[in-house]
Structure formats: C-alpha cells, structure tokens
C-alpha cells in the first residue's frame, strides 16, 4: 500500500508591519515616560552632569549651590539657585557670573537648528564681572573655535543685579545697576508691572560718566510687542539722549531709535567708545539709529558743529570675527561750512578757536608766533577701523576769499588715510588736491599734491577789499611735497619737493607796479597824468621754491612787465616758520627819482613784515647827501637816477615753471642781448 506523501502546512510569516508599529509604540511609551519622569523630577538628577559638562566645555568651574532644574515643558526650561561661573585666574573679579536665582526658557526646535533665542529670562541677585587685560585677553573668551555670543533675549525680569566692566586698554571701570522689574517667573500669565530702570557710573580714558534710563513698556514686550527705551548719559561734558523702541530686551535688529549727542568736542565721546571721531567746536547732532545684521545705520543726520550745519547718513559695520575690521561708510554734506570749523580737523585747538576766533590758530613758541598745528595724529586708533566718507559743502565761509563747491573723498584703509579729492572753487578758479597720510609706517609719511587752476586776480583782489580796476592777470600753480611726522607742522618741517605759482600774461594797475619798485617819479607822473589805474601788462611771472628738509629756497621768483623786471631771493622755513626774503625791481624806463633797491620780507608766517628801507637804499641816501655837500643839492638827485635799459625776459621757461639753474640764467642772458 503506497503511502501518499504528506504536504507540510506553510508556517505563518511574521507581520513585519505590525512589529514596526509595536516598536514605534514602545519607543513612544519610553519617550513619554522619560518626558513625564523628567517633567515630574524637573531634571534635578542632571545637576552633577550639568556642572561637569559645563565646566569641561568652558574650561572653568561651574557650580550650582542650591536647587537645580533642567527639563522640557515643551520648551527647554532652566532654573538654578546659587549659580556661579568662574573668571580666569588673572581677573580681579573671581566670578564672571553669579546669581541668587536664574530662570530661562528657550524654544527647543530653534536651538536644534543653531538659533539661540531666550523667550524669557529672570535674574535675581545677579553679579556680572567682565574684564579685558592690557594684552587683549578677555574674561568672556572660552576655549573652542567659535567666539561666545550673548543669545537673543525677548523678555527679561531683572532685580538687584549689577554689572562691572574693567578694561585696561581703555582705562575703563564701569558699574551698571539694574533696577527691579515687578514680576516673577511663574509660567503663563506672568505680569510685568513696571519699567526696568537702570543706572550706571564709571570712568573711561580717565573721564567720569553717569547714565540712567528705563525700558518703558515691559507689558507689551511680554505679550510679544516692542520694548520702549529711554536713556540719558553724561560723560566728560558730553550728553547722550536716546529714545525709541527695541524688538526685545536684547534684540537690536529692527530697532527704531532717535539718538542725540551734544557737547564741546565730538572727539570726546569717540574716545569713550574707543573710536576716532573728528575734533570739533561745540556741536549737537541727532540721527535715527537702526540695526540690520552687523550694520548700524545712522540716517536723517541733522545738526551743527561750531557755526557749520551737517546732514547725511552713516553706516557702521561691526567686525564679525577677530580678523575683521570695523568699517564706516557715509555721505555727509553742509550748506555752509565755516572756515573756523575746519581748524580742529587739521589739529588746531577747538577750544581756542571757539574763544579767540582766527587768532586761536596762533601760539607762541620760543618767543615767536607759530601757526602750523602741532596736534598729533591718532595713529594707533586709525589702525583699528576702515572708512569711506564723501563730504560736500555748498559754501565755505572765510570772511575774505570766496570758496564754494567743496568736495572731499576720505578713505581709510589699514591706517592709510587718503583725501582724494580735496577740491573747491577759489575766487573763480579751482583748487584740487590729493593728500595721503600713511599711519602704518613709523614715522607717519605724508604726500601732498595740490594744484591751482587759473585764479583771476581781479576776484582775489576784490575779496580783500582792494580796487580791481584794470586787473586781468591770473595765476595757476602746484605744490608737491613729501614729509614725515604725526603732525602737520612735523610733516612740513621735514618735507622736500617744490612749490610753484605761475602768472601768465595779464594786466595790473600802474601804481601797483611803480610802488613795488619804489619808482617815485613814474608813480607821481602817473598820478598827475591820471594814469594811476592804467593797466600795465605782466608778460609772465613765477614764484617758485625748492623745498629740502623743510627749508624752501626761491627757485626762482621772477616777474616781467612792460615797465620793469622783478626778481626775488631768499627763503622760508617750515620748521621755525621764519621768512627771509627780498624782492628788487629793475626798470625798463628812464627814471629821475628812483629808489630801486631790494624790499625785505621778513618775520614769521603768522606775522610777516615788509621793510622797504634796505641797506642799498640807505647807501644811496648817504651817497646823495655826500654829493649834495660836495657839489650842489641838484647833484644829490644823481644817486637816485635810473637809466632803465632792463630787457624783456624769455617767458617760455617761466610759463613751464622751470627751475632757476645756472644754465637757464645763461640762456636768459643771451636772450636779452
């Protein structure tokens, strides 16, 4: 009997989908259990772990003396009593942070994606000790590739809290005390009943300051609205007022603030904040302040400094890493710029200018007046930031010479300061210059390149209340100098280069020409003949100096007119600002009564003196007396007779501004023959 083969019944396959679901349910149960456990226990068991990990992370002891809580609800919530975070051993204050109590909550999902945002912060009995050493070390720098940054805080409740900041670099010691916000961290429904007030005092760069203010709308901020801010500060005769709104307690992006700063000198608050601001006479400036990322924007700037108005906008871009540099960009303008307000920018004392006017530019040095400023350039501070400022002024008020359409492009790049262009209209002509100050070198190196286009002497004479009848002459010129030193005086006193003024063909008055060479007869003849204002032609003229080591030697000074030739000699010195020059005229016409002799130009830049009585003129006078005694009184006139005969000068080299060399003088002598 054959047995039929048995067929094994198939074994049921495991339901994979069911097991996955069971696993997920189990995981969910575990997570819920962990969540419930940590919520019930408030994470107190993590206290020792928190202290160990935090201490290892920042490399300093972190301790919690009292109650500790760290749990999800569903945001991350942290509570600690008696929390301390130590400062490094070199610091004067042993603790970077300490608090009787601290509470905060942070959204977990944002934290997972790197956004450190604190929804609410409560600090009671806080003590914060920040310090920077002379070598640049700071107490808030921790080990690791990234720098510590304060998280964004939307709402805060602070009581009995004090912050001290000691800065050896800026010689600052600041203490800020934060007043109480009525309210406790009790979860939902927290009510903040009053403003957060704060007061502070301290010193910076040796100057004492005080400040006070308040966050005025904490209830609106607690509900997710904006926070009102009012701040008043005074430091070293500087007043700072700020009013407006902030998006949160430490949120500045999107702030809407109006800032007003006033005082006696704008450079003072700059020093307090560690930046270089220009020195000014008394000022008051206001601007709207907003922040966008790393940019602080000052818009709708308005106000005055001294007797000049100012408007425009500035953007300050903060450094994002230790290798970055702070950058200032802006466009500024004035309708009227007073010349006295330019003085502090080049080194004159703003206090003296404000008290004495133009006389404030002059000081006594070694018994004689000095006018070139000696205030040192802030070389080290210029190495800490870069800048690009475009400035214009419609009119420059000088009281005499008409100046308008001023344009200045200022660029600071790694301590190299460039004023390019620095230009303005001058009495119908144009002065344009490029000045470069390299503060990255020691000593500071300065290059001057100044060009003067055709300036009509007619308008220049009018600006000094002189009659301009018959004047058609003009002048152009250029000065190229290189010097060293951290003041205007030092750079010019060490400079070398060339200064040239060229006078192409034109006309001036007869009397100006005659008086310049002390030609009494022709002056009287012109006067009696009513020709005093008759134009006399200038064929060409040059006033040039070769500068070496700060001493400028005439090279050459020469004017050729239809009536006479004039040649100057001598020098001036940028170091002691002395003048030792003379000008002498040689007539092309016969003159019976002529006292032609050198006219001395002596004294100092700030007090020049013109002496028409030269030794040669005295000698002529002595000869006249002798002839009058020996012969007749008429013979005395012979000492003052000028037979003329001076030849025309070759104007080609003059108009080309060539140097006065032996070769050029020889060629000129041949041309006269």
Write the CB contacts of 66 (distance below 8 Å, at least 6 apart in sequence). Answer: 80, 81, 82
Q: In this structure, is residue 515 part of a structural domain? A: yes
Q: In this structure, is residue 320 part of a structural domain? A: no
Count the domains in the chain: 2
DSSP structure class, residue 589: S
Alpha-carbon dihedral angle through residues 412, 425, 451, 510, given to the nearest 10 degrees? -160
Locate 658 and state its tokens: 């060539």
Q: Return the number of other C-beta atoms located less than 10 Å from residue 495's C-beta.
A: 25
Query: Which helix H or strand E contains 585, and what residues bound it?
Result: strand 578-587
Cβ pair 416, 357 in contact under 8 A: no
Residue 203 has pLDDT above 60, yes or no: yes
| pLDDT at residue number 590 | 47
As a residue count, the chain comes to 673
Please tell me the distance from the alpha carbon of residue 596 to that of residue 267, in angstroms, as a whole number. Answer: 54
Domain boundary (185, 201, 236) is at 236
**Which pLDDT tens digit goes with each residue over 573-626?**
999 999 998 888 777 664 544 445 677 788 898 888 876 655 554 444 444 444
Cβ pair 310, 332 in contact under 8 A: yes
Please tell me the distance from the alpha carbon of residue 202 to that of residue 254, in angstroms, as a whole number. Answer: 30
What DSSP line would sit under 423-490, residue for residue?
EEEETTEEEEEEEEEETTSSS-EEEEEEEEEEEEHHHHHHHTT---TT---EEEEEEEEEEESSSHHH
Helix (H, G, I), strand (E, B) or coil at 292: strand
Residue 225 has pLDDT above 70, yes or no: no
More confident residue, 422 or 34: 422
Cβ pair 341, 306 in contact under 8 A: yes
Cβ pair 122, 249 in contact under 8 A: no
Q: In this structure, is residue 402 part of a structural domain? A: no
Q: Which residues pair with 157 in a beta bridge?
A: 122
- Displacement of CA 203 from its chain's centroid (Å): 23
Closest CA relative to residue 105, chosen from 2, 186, 26, 221: 186
Q: How far is CA 399 from CA 276, 337, 396, 512, in A?
A: 30, 12, 9, 24
Please tell me the distance from the alpha carbon of residue 374 to that of residue 362, in angstroms, as a whole number. Answer: 11
Q: In this structure, is residue 153 part of a structural domain? A: yes
Confidence of residue 470 (pLDDT cuts 50, 70, 90): low
| pLDDT at residue number 507 | 79
Cβ pair 87, 133 in contact under 8 A: no
Q: In this structure, is residue 509 part of a structural domain? A: yes
Closest CA relative to residue 235, chosen from 197, 198, 268: 268
Do strands 152-159 and 117-124 pair parallel, antiparallel, or not at all (unpaired)? Answer: parallel
Alpha carbons within 13 angstroms on the beta-carbon side of residue 54 total 14
Cβ pair 605, 371 in contact under 8 A: yes
Q: In this structure, is residue 411 part of a structural domain? A: no
Please tell me the distance from the alpha carbon of residue 461 to that of residue 512, in angstroms, as a whole number. Answer: 12
Domain boundary (181, 202, 236) is at 236
More confident residue, 156 or 617: 156
| pLDDT at residue number 577 | 94
Domain boundary (218, 236, 254) is at 236
What DSSP line would sit under 618-652, residue for residue?
HHHHHHHHHHHHHS-GGGGGGGG-B---PPPP-HH
Please tell me the distance from the alpha carbon of residue 548 to that of residue 483, in angstroms, as a whole number. Answer: 10
Closest CA relative to residue 74, chosen from 25, 29, 107: 107
Closest CA relative to residue 117, chosen from 107, 103, 126: 107
| pLDDT at residue number 435 | 96
Q: In this structure, is residue 396 part of a structural domain? A: no
Q: In b/e form, how buried is each residue of 439-469, taking b as 16+ CB within 10 angstroms?
A: beeeebbbbbbbebbebbbbbbbebeeeebe
Please tell me the distance from the alpha carbon of residue 521 to that of residue 527, in angstroms, as a whole number. Answer: 10
| pLDDT at residue number 634 | 41
Residue 661 has pLDDT above 90, yes or no: no
Residue 630 has pLDDT above 50, yes or no: no
Confidence of residue 100 (pLDDT cuts 50, 70, 90): very high
Q: In this structure, is residue 618 part of a structural domain? A: yes
Please tell me the distance from the alpha carbon of residue 373 to that of residue 299, in angstroms, as a whole number. Answer: 33
311-315, 374-378, 437-441: least confidently modelled range: 374-378
Q: What integer is the mean pLDDT of 361-381?
A: 88
Cβ pair 468, 461 in contact under 8 A: yes
Please tell me the distance from the alpha carbon of residue 201 to that of residue 212, in angstroms, as a whole number. Answer: 9
Task: Compute the chain's Rg from CA coordinates.
Answer: 40
Q: Strand runs (DSSP E) across 65-106, as ranges?
A: 68-72, 76-86, 95-106
| pLDDT at residue number 457 | 79
Cβ pair 436, 418 in contact under 8 A: yes
Closest CA relative to residue 328, chosen from 210, 407, 410, 435: 410
Cβ pair 608, 579 in contact under 8 A: yes
| pLDDT at residue number 614 | 52
Q: Strand runs (DSSP E) across 264-341, as ranges?
A: 283-292, 295-305, 308-317, 326-338
More confident residue, 62 or 345: 62
Please tell me the distance from the alpha carbon of residue 324 to that of residue 178, in angstroms, as a whole number. Answer: 32
Confidence of residue 169 (pLDDT cuts 50, 70, 90): confident
Confidence of residue 655 (pLDDT cuts 50, 70, 90): low
More confident residue, 188 or 669: 669
Write the CB contacts of 298 (distance below 8 Å, at least 6 apart in sequence). Answer: 259, 287, 288, 289, 313, 314, 315, 316, 330
Cβ pair 597, 616 in contact under 8 A: yes
> Among all chains, which residue has been given the structure tokens 């008055």?
509
> Residue 214's domain spans which residues?
40-236
The phi, psi pair for 295, rounded to 5°, reads -105, 130
Write the CB contacts of 267 (distance below 8 Å, at least 6 apart in sequence). Answer: 276, 277, 278, 279, 280
Closest CA relative to residue 261, chosen from 272, 274, 248: 272
| pLDDT at residue number 664 | 55
Confidence of residue 391 (pLDDT cuts 50, 70, 90): very high
Cβ pair 273, 207 in contact under 8 A: no
Please tell me the distance from the alpha carbon of residue 212 to that of residue 176, in angstroms, as a whole number. Answer: 9
Please tell me the distance from the alpha carbon of residue 298 to that of residue 289, in angstroms, as a whole number. Answer: 5
Locate 103 and state its tokens: 């509470």
Please tell me the distance from the alpha carbon of residue 199 to that of residue 162, in angstroms, as a whole number. Answer: 10
């Amino acid at each position: 009997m054959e047995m039929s083969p048995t067929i094994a019944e198939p074994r049921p396959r495991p339901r994979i989908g069911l097991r996955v679901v069971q696993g997920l349910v189990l995981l969910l149960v575990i997570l819920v259990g962990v969540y419930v456990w940590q919520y019930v226990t408030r994470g107190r068991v993590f206290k020792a772990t928190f202290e160990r990990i935090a201490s290892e992370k920042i490399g300093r002891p972190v301790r919690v003396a009292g109650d500790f809580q760290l749990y999800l609800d569903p945001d991350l919530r942290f509570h600690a009593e008696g929390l301390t975070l130590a400062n490094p051993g070199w610091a004067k204050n042993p603790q970077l942070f300490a608090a009787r109590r601290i509470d905060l909550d942070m959204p977990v999902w944002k934290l997972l994606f790197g956004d450190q945002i604190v929804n609410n912060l409560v600090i009671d009995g806080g003590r914060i000790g920040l310090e920077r050493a002379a070598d640049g070390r700071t107490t808030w720098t921790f080990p690791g590739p990234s720098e510590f940054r304060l998280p964004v805080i939307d709402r805060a409740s602070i009581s009995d809290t004090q912050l001290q900041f000691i800065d050896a670099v800026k010689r600052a010691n600041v203490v800020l005390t934060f007043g109480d916000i009525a309210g406790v961290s009790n979860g939902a429904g927290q009510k903040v009943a009053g403003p957060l007030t704060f007061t502070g005092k301290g010193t910076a760069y040796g100057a004492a300051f005080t400040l006070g203010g308040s966050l005025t709308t904490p209830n609106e901020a607690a509900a997710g609205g904006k926070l009102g801010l009012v701040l008043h500060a005074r430091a070293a005769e500087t007043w700072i007022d700020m009013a407006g709104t902030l998006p949160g307690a430490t949120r500045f992006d999107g702030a809407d603030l109006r800032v007003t700063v006033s005082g006696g000198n704008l450079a003072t608050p700059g020093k307090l904040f560690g930046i270089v601001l220009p020195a000014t006479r008394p000022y008051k400036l206001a601007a709207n302040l907003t922040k966008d990322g790393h940019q602080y924007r000052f818009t709708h700037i308005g106000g005055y400094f001294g007797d000049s108005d100012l408007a425009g906008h500035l953007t300050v871009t903060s450094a994002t890493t230790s290798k970055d540099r702070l950058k200032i960009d802006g466009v500024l303008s004035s309708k009227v710029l007073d010349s006295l307000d330019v003085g502090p920018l080049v080194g004159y004392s703003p206090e003296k200018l404000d008290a004495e006017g133009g006389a404030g530019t002059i000081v006594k040095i070694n018994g004689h007046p000095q006018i070139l400023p000696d205030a040192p350039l802030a070389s080290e501070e210029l190495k800490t930031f870069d800048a690009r400022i475009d400035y214009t002024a419609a009119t420059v008020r000088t009281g005499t010479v008409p100046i308008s359409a001023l344009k200045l492009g200022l660029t600071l790049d790694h301590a190299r300061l460039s004023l390019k262009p620095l230009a303005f209209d001058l009495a119908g002509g144009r002065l344009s210059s490029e000045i470069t100050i390299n503060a990255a070198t020691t000593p500071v190196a300065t290059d001057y390149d100044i060009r003067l286009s055709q300036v009509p002497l007619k308008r220049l004479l009018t600006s000094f209340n002189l009659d301009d009848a018959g004047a058609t002459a003009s002048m152009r010129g250029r000065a190229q100098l290189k010097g060293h030193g951290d003041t205007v005086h030092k750079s010019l006193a060490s400079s070398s280069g060339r200064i040239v003024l060229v006078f192409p063909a034109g006309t001036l008055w007869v009397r100006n020409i005659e008086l310049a060479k002390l030609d009494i007869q022709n002056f009287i003849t012109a006067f009696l003949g009513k020709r005093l204002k008759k134009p006399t032609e200038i064929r060409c003229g040059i006033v040039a100096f070769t500068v070496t080591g700060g001493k400028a030697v005439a090279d050459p000074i020469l004017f050729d007119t239809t009536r006479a030739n004039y040649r100057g000699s001598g020098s001036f010195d940028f170091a002691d600002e002395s003048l030792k020059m003379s000008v002498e005229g040689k007539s092309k016409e016969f003159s019976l009564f002529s006292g032609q002799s050198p006219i001395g130009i002596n004294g100092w830049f700030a007090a020049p003196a013109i002496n028409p009585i030269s030794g040669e003129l005295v000698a002529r006078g002595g000869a006249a007396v002798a002839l009058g005694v020996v012969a007749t009184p008429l013979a005395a006139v012979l000492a003052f007779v000028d037979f003329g005969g001076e030849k025309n000068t070759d104007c080609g080299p003059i108009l080309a501004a060539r140097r006065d060399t032996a070769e050029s003088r020889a060629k000129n002598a041949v041309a006269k023959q």
